[in-house]
Chain A
Amino acid sequence: MFTLGPIGFLTPWLLVALVSLPVLWIILRAIPPAPIRRAFPGVALLLGLEDEDSEADRTPWWLLLLRMLAVAAMILGFAGPILNPDPVEEGAGPLLVYVDDSFAAAPDWRARIDVAKRQVDAAGAAGRPVALLSAGEVPAEGGLPLRAAADAGARLEGLLPKPLAADHTATIAWLDGVEGGFDTLWLSDGLDTATRADLARAFDARGSLTVMQPPAPRIGLRPGRIEGGNLSLVATRSSAEGPQEIEVTGQGPDPAGIERELARATLSFEPGATEAEVEVSLPPELRNRITRFEIEGVRSAGAVSLADDSLRRRKVALIGGDSEEALELLSPLHYLREALVPTADVMEGSIRDLVQASPDVIILADVAALAPNDRSAIETWVAEGGLLLRFAGPRLAAADTGRGEEDALLPVRLRVGGRDVGGAMSWGEPQGLAPFSESSPFYGLAVPEDVVVTSQVLAEPGPLLAERTIAELADGTPLVTRKQSGDGQVVLFHVSANAEWSSLPLSGLFVQMLERLAVSTRTGTPDAGELAGSIWVPEILLDGFGALADAGERPGVPGERVAEGVGPGLPPGLYAAEDRRVAVNVVTEDTVMTPAVWPAAVVPEWQGERQERDLSGWLLLAALALLAIDVIASLFLTGRLTGGKSRAVARTAGTAALLLIALAFAAPHQARAQDAATPETQDRAIGEDLEKLILAASEVTLAYVITGDAQVDRVSEAGLLGLSEQLYSRTSVEPVAPTGVDIETDELSIYPLLYWPVTADQPAPSDEAYGKLNAYLRGGGMIIFDTKDGDVAGFGSSSTPESQRLRALARPLDIPPLEPIPEDHVLTRTFYLLLDFPGRYAGQSVWVEAAPPDAERAEGMPFRNLNDGVTPILIGGNDWAGAWAITDTGAPMFPVGRGFAGERQRELAYRFGVNLVMHVLTGNYKSDQVHVPALLERLGN
């Protein structure tokens, strides 16, 4: 590539054409603009006239310059100019591109691939074969996987970082089997590993080694810890140079289950420090929700730290029997408190209060009988997923709870009495614990020798007993039993929670057992012992970029393996065993990010930041623009632009302007689509909306809901127009032209009523629209639903698609109870006295808000004292709009009924409409007793 300063040319030999420019100048200069030939009879008069200007006729210099510039721009443009071209390695022979695909390479993965791609392309241009190898996918054996450069480039695009640290052991082993020399391009992730130096030496021995690594430091986020009630976040970085600030967010589901940011902290690296720490104080509710921490803006598995049980604090409700002034150490709750307070939020209080606080665990220590309402509350809570942990004790042993039949809150039936072993009055020795069986959640826990049980309650033998036993004594009697109940479970320790009946609460095993039952949670990373014996199934897995993915069905991993930390068989993610969760993170508490150190001969380089830019597009565009200007200038010079025929001029100028505009829009890459709503158009739209609103608000405006069915909307508008005219002529209500309302976008509060024709295929409004409609109804608005199916179905039978649709549409609406319109409803007399409410169809019942049940007919009154205010809703299927509808000429749009009877029906329909609007506008005015005598007089006879 031929370079000229920062500009390189792809086809530099084209630049030779620039030499022709001066020649072109001379030629063009000698050739003036072509004359126009015009037929002109007056030429006879012109003969003999001389041009005043005696200058030689030549093209003006500025036009020449314009053309020269255009030609020069074209030549330069076709020569393929590139700003800041990337220097490309020179060399011969095969090239091995070795890519570190560790998590540390993920943040700038795209740039790495681009760099590698350029090198591969360059190698391809030089005819070199290319082998592509990534650290995580080394072939077991065989030589260099050489390919054509294009093929390697395509494979390069398919590489993805792995959520693991780079490990070169396999590569070194593979390299031993490879013969011949080659050059190596190593895209390093910039972190040091034990095998890096060896591999570098091995590569160096085969040929020249080029290392490319981005200079930016690698950043990792260690798992969060809880220290003194605060959340401690630590980030580590590979270089300790200048100060650096990173933002860490805690993500998790909000109460509605939607993933969102729950916490945010800024970590500042001091100059010279590789670690930054911050403590965040979070309410337990918030902290328990956090599922992961992320470094903002860094896409890497190392920048994501999944949160597990170690960050959760379970809410545990402790309920003991009446302590009766007993000694504190004898209290059944003492040891539980001691065991739980460091790792859980312990609550104590009345059962009712505790259940309402929705704890994760309720512990009943030696509580036998429960009040019925407490009992049902706990049962419900258990069924919804709570863990009820019960301890036996003297009271439970004495009570007859769970004796005859199984108690819902006890896992097994209990035998009367219980037993004492190894006591002064009994036979036998105190019993130790048997090793836990494989099916037990405690499997893998070491059983201390010194734990002995002297007293316990005994389970009644039964077919389910063995299945429900999760721990037993050496002699096989159940010690801990468990049963599932709904989504939750009930666990019973057959010994007391204090040291009275056994030494279990004194042992460390007790705490571990509580932990295994997910009653308490550990702090810090679990060690192998804690995890031993359990099988962990991945729930969520991280990919190299730190993105979460559902693990799907994958085999479980033994706890011992989980304790070893992330590795080839254990991708980072969240692993679950029963109710416990363990996060396996790439960056652990003791991860240190050491920058890679290279042999002195190898200097890592990086040109990822420099971007070459293709200038040819711009230059060709400039040439085109110059030529367009030249067109106009030439037209001007030859007189074709001014004078002559104005239309032709306008056309020419128009074409030129269009061309220029087209050029402006064709700008190579910045022709971004304009936002559809520029501020001006938005303002205009708002202004129009405002005008419409002000108009609607200043006069009575009837409104209908736009259904999207053009015919229905047309009828609605015509119907409301007809009704408006009738109102205008008959009453003092003088409505303006009705308006269609889009309930999604329009303001509703200014319309006294909404006419809503229901069509079978009407889309349901959005949730926001329903919110607006409910607010409208609450604010005194009225919606008239018209299913328009009165001819085929009585309203209420959901036999027509319209009424089915109406049910679906109205379900989210805040609608009071409805009833068919009663005879004494105020709608029957707000303006006209009406008994029926026909539209195009008659005789179907119309439903309005039900009268309050205590409405009674007052003494001497024809009407009940009904609810105040306006019915917010009116439902019918009589197609009122069809009856009201008029055409532009004022004639009815649709026939109603037949002959005069039909016209009478239309008249009644109008009367109903008038009553309706009157009802909306005047409320229960006509229910006022003031008018009763007059109404009586009219009604009486």
Chain B
Amino acid sequence: MSSTPITLRPRAEGLAAPLPPLLAEASQLARGVAFGEHGRKRPGVGDAFWQYRAAQPGDPARSIDWRRSARSDTHFVAEKEWQAAQSVVFWVDRSQSMQFASDKNLPTKADRAALLSLAACVLLVGAGERVGMTDMGVRPMRGELQLGRIADHLTANTAQDYGVPDTDILPRYSRAVFISDFLSDPAPVQAALATAADRGVRGVLLQVLDPAEEAFPYDGRTVFHSVGGTLEYETRKAGELRDRYLARLARRKEQLSAMAELTGWRFHTHHTGDSAASALLWLHTALEGRR
């Protein structure tokens, strides 16, 4: 499962296909409009009626206004006035630790994270939202071009061992999605969440873990090292560490969950051994705001 932009896009599209286009929570929409982009006097995605026009080949059936169409012989599409959309920014950890897969049949965590985030982007773009990456240097945008850029960006790995959340581009009142394994020091995450809360940004923390990280199936004399090689830890009996490691992992999850709770975010752990679709579904519901 190599993550080149060429393969990542189709896979993400495929993953996103069964889900309805993602509509960010409506309540946040008004705030997003507050940037002054409301009512552009042209058809587009919005709530307000703009005009009827004759249906053309290619219009989805659901966009036809049946009430209007029933009054004449032709079909009409009720166009809405285009309204400014919600911005959703992603931060996807592309550090070395995400390049880990315990089994050659499992995808790396980075691969899964990229897939999930791009699938969510596809859904969001389909629903007319703007998407962007916090560390891409470009403001959230919509459209195919943006998806391509994001796909490119997702497949470029960083050299650092553990990723730190980036809040460079985090527009006010936008939505944020942080995807990482969150195994390193939680302090930067906390800081990022604080920044986000300051800007009125709510979002989602998605922790992607390998099954081996959840089970710790090791035994014997072992030298564990991080994927990037910056950290090393030697033990004589790895098996005896298991319980303590698992306790620490559980504590980490609790920490993250608590941080998320505090700032109105949502937290979820996904394992690369599970299907990506379930994680996407969760992401979908979380971004839609249904509770």
From A32, A46, A637, A642, give the contact of B241 (CB < 8 A): A46
The answer to whether B233 touches A53, judged by C-beta atoms less than 8 angstroms apart, is no
The answer to whether A639 touches B227, judged by C-beta atoms less than 8 angstroms apart, is no
Instruction: Take A46-B245, A51-B235 as given contacts and tell me if A41 and B183 are in contact as well, using a CB distance cutoff of 8 Å.
Output: yes
Contacts of B234 in A (CB 8 A): 35
From B109, B224, B240, give the contact of A43 (CB < 8 A): B224
Instruction: Take A41-B100, A41-B183 as given contacts and tell me if A46 and B224 are in contact as well, using a CB distance cutoff of 8 Å.
Output: yes
Contacts of B187 in A (CB 8 A): none
In the complex, whether B237 has a CB less than 8 A from a CB of chain A is yes
Contacts of B83 in A (CB 8 A): none
Residue of B nearest to A43 (CB): B224
Tell me the minimal C-beta distance from B157 to chain A in angstroms. Answer: 14
Instruction: Take A51-B236, A57-B236 as given contacts and tell me if A42 and B220 are in contact as well, using a CB distance cutoff of 8 Å.
Output: no
Residues A622-678 near B (CB distance < 8 A): 637-640, 642-645
Contacts of A37 in B (CB 8 A): 222-223, 225
The answer to whether B213 touches A51, judged by C-beta atoms less than 8 angstroms apart, is no
From A34, A39, A53, give the contact of B240 (CB < 8 A): A53
In the complex the two chains form, what is the Cα distance from A222 to B217 in whole Å? Answer: 85
Residues B44-67 near A (CB distance < 8 A): none
Contacts of B226 in A (CB 8 A): 39-41, 43-44
Contacts of A42 in B (CB 8 A): 183, 213, 216, 224, 245, 249
The answer to whether B184 touches A44, judged by C-beta atoms less than 8 angstroms apart, is yes
In the complex, whether B221 has a CB less than 8 A from a CB of chain A is yes
Residues A13-36 near B (CB distance < 8 A): 32-36
In the complex the two chains form, what is the Cα distance from A45 to B226 in whole Å? Answer: 11
Contacts of A40 in B (CB 8 A): 100, 212-213, 218, 224-226
The answer to whether A49 touches B217, judged by C-beta atoms less than 8 angstroms apart, is no
In the complex the two chains form, what is the Cα distance from A46 to B240 in whole Å? Answer: 12
Contacts of A638 in B (CB 8 A): 220-221
Residues A32-72 near B (CB distance < 8 A): 32-47, 49, 51-53, 57
Contacts of A637 in B (CB 8 A): 220-221
In the complex the two chains form, what is the Cα distance from A572 to B223 in whole Å? Answer: 86
Tell me the minimal C-beta distance from A76 to chain B in angstroms. Answer: 32
The answer to whether B241 touches A49, judged by C-beta atoms less than 8 angstroms apart, is yes
In the complex, whether B232 has a CB less than 8 A from a CB of chain A is yes
The answer to whether A49 touches B244, judged by C-beta atoms less than 8 angstroms apart, is yes
In the complex, whether B70 has a CB less than 8 A from a CB of chain A is no
Residues B192-237 near A (CB distance < 8 A): 210, 212-213, 216-227, 231-237
In the complex the two chains form, what is the Cα distance from A39 to B239 in whole Å? Answer: 16
The answer to whether B219 touches A643, judged by C-beta atoms less than 8 angstroms apart, is yes
Tell me the minimal C-beta distance from A867 to chain B in angstroms. Answer: 78
In the complex, whether B103 has a CB less than 8 A from a CB of chain A is yes
Q: How many residues of B contact A (CB 8 A)?
A: 41
Instruction: Take A41-B226, A45-B252 as given contacts and tell me if A57 and B221 are in contact as well, using a CB distance cutoff of 8 Å.
Output: yes
In the complex, whether B248 has a CB less than 8 A from a CB of chain A is yes
Residue of B nearest to A52 (CB): B240
Contacts of A32 in B (CB 8 A): 221, 236
Residue of A nearest to B248 (CB): A45
Contacts of B237 in A (CB 8 A): 51-53
Contacts of B103 in A (CB 8 A): 645
Instruction: Take A39-B100, A40-B225, A43-B232 as given contacts and tell me if A640 and B220 are in contact as well, using a CB distance cutoff of 8 Å.
Output: yes
The answer to whether A53 touches B236, judged by C-beta atoms less than 8 angstroms apart, is yes
Contacts of B218 in A (CB 8 A): 38, 40, 639, 643-644
From A38, A640, A642, give the contact of B225 (CB < 8 A): A38
Residue of A nearest to B231 (CB): A43
In the complex the two chains form, what is the Cα distance from A47 to B231 in whole Å? Answer: 9
From A36, A47, A57, A644, give the contact of B223 (CB < 8 A): A36
In the complex, whether B81 has a CB less than 8 A from a CB of chain A is no
In the complex, whether B129 has a CB less than 8 A from a CB of chain A is no
In the complex the two chains form, what is the Cα distance from A685 to B248 in whole Å? Answer: 62
In the complex, whether B79 has a CB less than 8 A from a CB of chain A is no
The answer to whether B183 touches A39, judged by C-beta atoms less than 8 angstroms apart, is no
In the complex the two chains form, what is the Cα distance from A639 to B218 in whole Å? Answer: 7
Contacts of B245 in A (CB 8 A): 42, 45-46, 49
In the complex the two chains form, what is the Cα distance from A684 to B235 in whole Å? Answer: 55
In the complex the two chains form, what is the Cα distance from A286 to B100 in whole Å? Answer: 93
User: What sequence of 0s and 1s flags, for each residue 244-283 of chain B, a beta carbon within 8 Å of any chain A beta carbon?
Assistant: 1100110010000000000000000000000000000000
Contacts of A49 in B (CB 8 A): 233, 235, 241, 244-245
The answer to whether B221 touches A35, judged by C-beta atoms less than 8 angstroms apart, is yes
In the complex the two chains form, what is the Cα distance from A571 to B226 in whole Å? Answer: 94
Residues A667-721 near B (CB distance < 8 A): none
In the complex the two chains form, what is the Cα distance from A57 to B236 in whole Å? Answer: 7
Contacts of A44 in B (CB 8 A): 97, 162, 183-185, 226, 231
The answer to whether A45 touches B231, judged by C-beta atoms less than 8 angstroms apart, is no
In the complex the two chains form, what is the Cα distance from A321 to B232 in whole Å? Answer: 128
Residues A56-102 near B (CB distance < 8 A): 57
Contacts of A36 in B (CB 8 A): 220-223
In the complex the two chains form, what is the Cα distance from A33 to B221 in whole Å? Answer: 8
Contacts of B166 in A (CB 8 A): none
Contacts of A41 in B (CB 8 A): 97-98, 100, 109, 162, 181, 183, 210, 213, 226-227
The answer to whether B224 touches A45, judged by C-beta atoms less than 8 angstroms apart, is no
Contacts of A57 in B (CB 8 A): 221, 236
From B98, B223, B227, give the contact of A35 (CB < 8 A): B223
Residues B141-180 near A (CB distance < 8 A): 162
Contacts of A33 in B (CB 8 A): 220-221
Contacts of B30 in A (CB 8 A): none
From B181, B213, B221, give the contact of A639 (CB < 8 A): B221
In the complex, whether B33 has a CB less than 8 A from a CB of chain A is no
In the complex, whether B136 has a CB less than 8 A from a CB of chain A is no
Residue of B nearest to A640 (CB): B220
The answer to whether B225 touches A639, judged by C-beta atoms less than 8 angstroms apart, is no
Residue of B nearest to A36 (CB): B222
Residues A882-914 near B (CB distance < 8 A): none
In the complex the two chains form, what is the Cα distance from A275 to B97 in whole Å? Answer: 99
In the complex the two chains form, what is the Cα distance from A697 to B281 in whole Å? Answer: 67
Tell me the minimal C-beta distance from B101 to chain A in angstroms. Answer: 10
Contacts of B210 in A (CB 8 A): 41
Contacts of A639 in B (CB 8 A): 218-222, 238-239
Residue of A nearest to B217 (CB): A643
Residue of B nearest to A642 (CB): B219
New contact pairs (17) apart from A32-B221, A45-B249, A51-B237, CB-CB < 8 Å: A34-B221, A35-B220, A37-B225, A39-B226, A40-B224, A41-B109, A41-B162, A41-B181, A41-B210, A43-B226, A43-B232, A44-B184, A44-B185, A46-B235, A46-B241, A53-B236, A637-B220
Q: List 8 A-B contacts (CB under 8 A).
A: A37-B225, A38-B225, A41-B109, A41-B181, A45-B183, A639-B219, A642-B219, A644-B217
Residues of B bordering A, CB below 8 Å: 97-98, 100, 103, 109, 162, 181, 183-185, 210, 212-213, 216-227, 231-241, 244-245, 248-249, 252
The 10 A-B pairs with the shortest beta carbon distances in the complex, nearest first, are A639-B220, A639-B219, A41-B97, A35-B221, A638-B220, A43-B224, A40-B224, A45-B248, A42-B213, A643-B219
